[in-house]
C-alpha cells in the first residue's frame, strides 16, 4: 500500500534586532562585538532600584515594521514580565508583551519568480517588542567547567514577528524569510545579520496526514538554533521526513504529545531534542508595574506612513509596468537593494531603454559588483554614462561586443562613451561598406556558400570572424544578416 498523502504545516517566529543606538530600556550601547560585559549598567544587569524607560526609536521602528507588514497597529499597548530563571537573564524575567502587542494581525505576501509555488499571503498573528537576553558561552569540551556569561546583549530591542502556520514547504519558508529580510532592510529597521544574531528564526512544525479519509495532525515540534535560511530549509525537510516516519511507527498525534523543543544541529544535519528550560514553560506573565502603557494615536501612525519610502513588492510591480520588464528581472534587481534599483531607474529613464538597461544591470553591472565585491554605491560608472552607452548601442552606433569594450574602459576612466568610442576607433560602418566586405568574402569562399546551401547554417560563422578582422567595427549580427541575404538573392 502506498503511503498516505501529507502536508507540511509551518509557522515561523522571527526575532529581529532593531537598529537603535541604545538599548530598549537604558542608555547602554547596542554595538556588536565589544569586549564582554563592557556595555552594561545597573538597569540591564537587573540591579534593584532601577527603573526602565522605553526607547522612542525602538517604538517607532516597531510601528514602521508593523505598517509595512500590513498589521493592525495597537492604539493601546502595554508591558508584561515573562518569568524564567536562566543565568543570561539577570532580572529573572524578560520584559515582553503578552496580551497587547504593538502590532496585531497582518500579512506578508510571498511569491516565487521561478513559479514553483503560487503567490500567497502568509498571515501574521502579531509582532511584539521585547528585550533580548545575554549570551552564554558553554564549555562543551570539559562539560563540568563554568558557563561564561556576557550581558552586553541584555536589553537590546527585539521585535518578534509571529506568523500563522500558513507555510507549506521549505521553499515557502525560505521565500517568506527572504522577503521579510529584504523588507526590513528597505525599511532600515534592522541589519538582519544572522551571523551576529540580528535575525533569529524558530520554526513550529507538524504534519497533516490524510489517512482513511481522516486528517491527522502529528505532534508539534519547535525547532530552534536555525542559523541560516538554508538551515531552516533543511531542518524543515528533515522534520517532515522524521515526523512522517515516526507517525508510521508509533501513530502518535497532536493529542498524545505536548509541543517538544528541538535544536537544529547543522553539522549532523538533524534535529536533537533539547532539555526544557522550565517544566512546560510556565512563564507566569503579569503586567510590568515599572513601565507605563503606550498610547499610539492616528497622527503618529500617519506621520510614520508618510516618511516611509516605497517597499519591495510595490517597487517590483512598478518596475514591471513602467519599464516593461519581467517579474524575474524586477525580482533580481529589487533583491539587490534600494540603491541598485535607483541606479537602474536612472539609467532606464535617461536611456529610455528599460529592458536593455535591465539586462545590462543584471549581467554586466552585477558581474563587476560581484568580481570586485562592491556595492552599487561604489560602482565606478555614473548612471548617465551607462545610459549614454546604452543609447548608442540601441541606435546601432556600436554592437554588443564593442559596447562591452567601451564598458570596460568606462570602469577605469570617467569619460563620456562617445569619447571612449573615438579612442577605441569605434564608428558605425555604413551598410554599403559592410555589403562590399560581405560580397568579397563570399566570392573568396565558395565552399562556405556551398555548405550553407546544403543546410550547414553554421558554416557562415567563419566569415563573420573574417569580416571583423577586415573591419573591427563590423556588427556580427548585421554581417550574418547580410551574408544570408546575399546568398539567398543569388539562389
Give residues in contact with other proteins (CB under 8 A): 20-22, 26-29, 35-42, 45, 47, 53-59, 76, 78, 83, 85-87, 100, 136-140, 143-151, 275-279, 282, 284, 287, 289, 291-295
H helix runs in 258-297, sequence order: none
Task: Calculate the CA 329 to chain-centre distance.
Answer: 15
Cβ proximity to other proteins: between 275 and 370 the closer is 275
Give the number of other CB atoms < 10 A from CB of residue 452. Answer: 20
Residue 7 and residue 166: Cα distance in Å, rounded? 11
Minimum Å gap between C-beta 153 and other proteins is: 13
Q: How far is the CB of 304 from other proteins (least distance, A)?
A: 15
Cell of 338: 534600494
> What is the sign of the dihedral through the CA atoms of 326, 331, 336 and 339?
positive
Instruction: Give whichever of 44 and 232 is closer to other proteins, judged by the CB atom.
Output: 44
3-state secondary structure of 137: strand
**CB nearer to other proteins: pick between 47 and 395:** 47
Q: Which is nearer to other proteins, 197 or 287 (CB)?
A: 287
Helix (H) or strand (E) holding 114: none
Q: How far apart are CA 476 and CA 290, in angstroms?
A: 76
Residues 211, 363: contact at Cβ < 8 Å? no
Cβ proximity to other proteins, 39 vs 94, nearer residue? 39
292 vs 326, beta carbon nearer other proteins:
292
Least gap, CB of 385 to other proteins (angstroms): 40
Shortest reach from residue 132's CB to other proteins, in Å: 16
Q: How far is the CB of 411 from other proteins (least distance, A)?
A: 40
Q: Supply the DSSP symbol for 279.
A: G
Nearer to other proteins, 128 or 478 (CB): 128
CA 174/CA 434 separation, integer angstroms = 53
What is the C-alpha to C-alpha distance for residues 66 and 161, in angstroms, rounded to an integer? 9
Taking the complex as a whole, the smallest distance from the CB of residue 421 to other proteins amounts, in Å, to: 52
CB atoms within 10 A of CB 438: 25
Contact 262, 273 (CB under 8 A): yes
Cβ 265 to other proteins shortest distance, Å: 15
Rounded to the nearest whole angstrom, what is the least distance from the CB of residue 190 to other proteins in the complex? 14
Cβ proximity to other proteins, 279 vs 373, nearer residue: 279
CA separation for the pair 338, 346 (Å, rounded)? 12
In angstroms, give the least distance from the CB of 33 to other proteins.
14
Nearer to other proteins, 60 or 108 (CB): 60
CB-based contacts of 395, cutoff 8 Å, min separation 6: none
Residue 14, C-alpha cell as written in the block: 522571527
Q: Tell me how far apart the alpha carbons of residues 330 and 319 are, in angstroms, rounded to a whole number.
A: 6
CB of 56 to other proteins, least distance (A): 4
Residue 166 near residue 123, CB atoms below 8 Å: yes
Quick one: 5 or 141, whose CB is closer to other proteins?
A: 141
> What per-residue string of b and e applies to 258-287 under the rule 16 or more CB within 10 Å gives b?
eeebbbbeeeeeebeeeeeeeeeeebeeee
In this complex, which beta carbon is closest to other proteins, that of residue 24 or of residue 216?
A: 24
C-alpha cell at 151: 550581558
Rounded Cα–Cα distance for residues 228 and 266 (Å) = 10
DSSP string, 317-362: HHHHHHH---HHHHHHHHTT-HHHHHHHHHHHHHHT-HHHHHHHII
Q: How far is the CB of 151 from other proteins (least distance, A)?
A: 7
Residue 488 CA from chain centroid, whole number: 52
> Chain-centre distance of CA 284, in angstroms?
37
Q: What whole-number distance in Å separates Cα of residue 232 and Cα of residue 203? A: 8
Write down the least CB distance from residue 126 to other proteins, Å.
Answer: 17
Of the two residues 246 and 300, which places its CB atom closer to other proteins in the complex? 300
Amino acid at each position: 500500500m502506498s503511503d498516505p498523502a501529507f502536508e507540511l504545516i509551518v509557522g515561523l517566529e522571527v526575532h529581529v534586532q532593531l537598529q537603535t543606538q541604545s538599548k530598549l530600556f537604558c542608555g547602554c550601547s547596542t554595538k556588536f562585538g565589544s569586549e564582554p560585559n563592557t556595555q552594561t549598567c545597573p538597569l540591564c544587569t537587573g540591579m534593584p532600584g532601577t527603573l526602565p524607560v522605553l526607547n522612542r526609536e525602538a517604538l517607532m521602528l516597531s510601528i514602521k515594521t508593523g505598517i509595512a507588514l500590513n498589521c493592525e497597529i495597537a492604539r493601546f499597548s502595554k508591558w508584561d514580565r515573562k518569568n524564567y530563571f536562566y543565568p543570561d537573564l539577570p532580572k529573572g524575567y524578560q520584559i515582553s508583551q503578552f496580551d497587547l502587542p504593538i502590532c496585531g494581525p497582518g500579512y506578508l505576501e510571498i511569491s516565487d519568480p521561478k513559479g514553483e509555488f503560487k503567490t500567497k499571503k502568509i498571515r501574521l498573528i502579531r509582532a511584539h517588542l521585547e528585550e533580548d537576553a545575554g549570551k552564554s558561552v558553554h564549555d562543551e569540551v570539559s562539560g563540568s567547567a563554568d558557563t561564561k556569561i556576557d550581558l552586553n546583549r541584555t536589553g537590546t530591542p527585539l521585535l518578534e514577528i509571529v506568523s500563522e502556520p500558513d507555510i507549506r514547504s521549505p521553499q515557502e519558508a525560505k521565500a517568506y524569510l527572504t522577503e521579510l529580510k529584504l523588507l526590513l532592510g528597505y525599511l532600515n529597521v534592522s541589519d538582519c545579520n544572522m551571523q551576529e544574531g540580528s535575525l533569529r528564526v524558530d520554526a513550529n512544525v507538524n504534519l497533516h496526514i490524510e489517512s482513511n479519509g481522516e486528517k491527522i495532525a502529528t505532534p508539534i515540534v519547535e525547532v530552534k538554533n536555525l542559523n541560516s535560511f538554508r538551515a531552516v530549509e533543511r531542518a524543515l525537510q528533515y522534520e517532515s521526513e522524521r515526523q512522517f516516519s515516526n507517525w508510521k511507527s508509533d501513530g502518535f498525534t497532536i493529542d498524545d504529545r505536548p509541543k517538544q523543543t528541538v535544536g537544529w544541529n547543522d553539522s549532523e544535519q538533524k534535529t536533537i531534542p533539547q532539555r526544557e528550560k522550565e517544566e512546560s514553560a510556565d512563564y507566569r506573565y503579569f503586567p510590568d508595574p515599572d513601565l507605563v502603557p503606550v498610547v499610539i494615536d492616528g497622527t503618529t501612525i500617519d506621520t510614520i506612513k508618510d516618511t516611509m519610502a516605497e517597499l519591495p513588492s510595490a517597487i517590483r510591480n512598478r518596475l514591471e509596468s513602467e519599464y516593461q520588464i519581467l517579474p524575474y528581472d524586477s525580482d533580481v534587481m529589487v533583491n539587490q537593494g534600494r540603491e541598485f534599483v535607483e541606479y537602474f531607474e536612472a539609467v532606464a529613464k535617461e536611456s529610455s531603454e528599460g529592458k536593455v538597461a535591465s539586462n545590462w544591470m543584471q549581467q554586466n553591472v552585477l558581474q563587476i559588483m560581484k568580481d570586485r565585491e562592491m556595492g552599487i554605491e561604489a560602482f565606478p560608472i555614473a548612471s548617465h554614462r551607462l545610459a549614454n552607452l546604452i543609447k548608442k548601442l540601441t541606435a546601432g552606433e556600436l554592437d554588443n561586443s564593442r559596447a562591452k569594450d567601451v564598458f570596460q574602459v568606462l570602469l577605469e576612466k570617467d569619460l563620456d562613451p562617445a569619447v571612449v568610442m573615438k579612442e577605441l576607433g569605434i564608428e558605425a560602418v555604413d551598410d554599403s561598406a559592410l555589403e562590399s566586405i560581405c560580397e568579397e568574402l563570399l566570392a573568396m569562399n565558395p565552399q562556405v556558400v556551398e555548405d550553407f546551401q546544403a543546410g550547414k547554417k553554421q558554416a557562415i560563422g567563419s566569415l563573420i570572424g573574417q569580416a571583423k578582422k577586415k573591419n573591427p567595427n563590423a556588427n556580427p549580427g548585421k554581417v550574418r544578416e547580410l551574408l544570408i541575404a546575399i546568398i539567398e538573392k543569388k539562389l
